[in-house]
Chains A and B, each alone.
Chain A
Amino acid sequence: MMAAMTGTGTATLRILMVVLAAACASAAAAHTGSVAGGFVGGLAHPVFGLDHVVAMVAVGLWGAFLGAPAIIVLPIVFPLVMAAGGVLGILGVPLPGVEIGIAASAIVLGLMVVFAVRPPLWTAAVLVGAFAIFHGHAHGAELPPGADALAYSAGFVIATGLLHLAGIALGLLTRWPAGSVAVRAAGGLIAGVGAFFLVRLA
């Protein structure tokens, strides 16, 4: 009986040791987080926010409408200004009306495309830059501290750039009359989505 109890006790102890070892196993990382997981997470992050997606596509669409040099300047400047907004978000600097700003960016940029507005480059850059601050702030505040932060940031910056590129590619349809109508209709759709998000916030 005693021997049987001792045997059971030893088995329980062994299992407890295995459980403890399993619970204690953690990533002894010199460079923390998974690079692949961080990158994919960052890449997916802007794609799953419809308000972000439509605004980014609108930036590309409007850039294509404005032509050179805006079509070149916007994809280079936007990530940098967005990073400045991201820094504010990470550091916890409050920015009033972030979600309203994001929804407004879709409405304003969508309407710019609908009405084919062609302001001077600096006006367009300031307008897009101001909206980039809101988008960056939202992304920065949501940056996960656990995963490989650089891979995650690179992922979402690249995803943002690819959404611009999609907008630019779609905007190139303006070379044809029917394409121009389609692009302006897409601008209307973007403004509508922005209005939906704004109403939902109210």
Chain B
Amino acid sequence: MRLLLAMALVLLASPAYAHPPPIGIGGFWGGLLHPYFVTAHAAAIVALGLLVGQQGWGRVTPIAFIGALMAGLGLIALAVVPRYANEALLVLAAICGLLAALAKPLPEPVGIALGVLTGIAVGLDSPPEVLSVREANLMLIGTGLGASLFLVLAIEGASKLTQPWQRIGARVVGSWIAAAAILVLALSFSR
């Protein structure tokens, strides 16, 4: 009876997650899935991808993103403790979403700057929460690959939206991302 009571209490306890969705997945695969399941990362990357695909910018922006991402992950590997990386990602998601919603032609350096800032913020906001150095390094490699692939897929998807109704849809999604990011930024600053 006592054992049953104790087991019931253990089962009722909330689980201790490091990152909510890829529960139990560590190492390379945990890192690979990280940007897809952490909402701020996904929002910033999708918004940037929408903007790059909509503007028809070349390969420089994703290359700048990947370079900055690697730099951010490198800084994490060197035990740099970031501050406000998550808030920076929300600001970038709001800016990219707003620019995608407005759909005004913009010069490519704007995209490069946003790519660099988003890349470094994603990298700095991905500290692996594991004890072993080997697993931490595998997670960082996975995050680098996962986030890069995510941006490339988002750009490819957005660049295929050529029909008028598809372009309106992209603008609507941009406004949704911007609105959600603005609300959460307000929430984080109100605390």
Contacts and interface: CB of A to CB of B under 8 A. Distances in A.
Q: Do A and B bind each other?
A: yes
Interface of A: 11, 14-15, 18-19, 21-23, 25-31, 33-36, 38, 72, 75-77, 79-80, 82-84, 86-87, 90-92, 140, 143, 145, 148-151, 153-154, 157-158, 161
Given A22-B9, A75-B172, A87 B182 contact: yes
B177 to A, nearest CB: 7
B101 A25 contact: no
A140 B189 CA distance: 13
A145 B187 contact: yes
Given A26-B14, A29-B19, A153 B184 contact: yes
A36 B42 CA distance: 14
5 contacts: A31-B86, A76-B101, A79-B179, A80-B175, A150-B90
Contacts of B21: 35-36
B2 interface: yes
Contact of B179 (A26, A29, A80): A80
Contacts of B13: 21-23, 25
User: Among B2, B98, B184, B189, which residue has the most Cβ atoms of chain A within 10 A?
Assistant: B184
Given A90-B183, A90-B187, A143-B183, A18 B18 contact: no
Given A29-B17, A29-B20, A77-B175, A21 B10 contact: yes
A157 B6 CA distance: 42
A154 B177 contact: yes
Q: Is the interface of B mostly helix, strand, loop or mixed?
A: helix
Counting from the closest, the 7 A-B pairs by CB-CB distance are A83-B179, A153-B180, A79-B179, A25-B13, A150-B39, A87-B186, A22-B9
Interface of B: 2, 5-6, 9-10, 12-21, 37-40, 43, 86, 90, 98, 101, 127, 129, 168, 171-172, 175-184, 186-191
Contacts of B127: 30
B37 A35 contact: yes
Contact of B20 (A11, A26, A34, A149): A34
B98 to A, nearest CB: 7
A56 to B, nearest CB: 14
Nearest to B9: A22
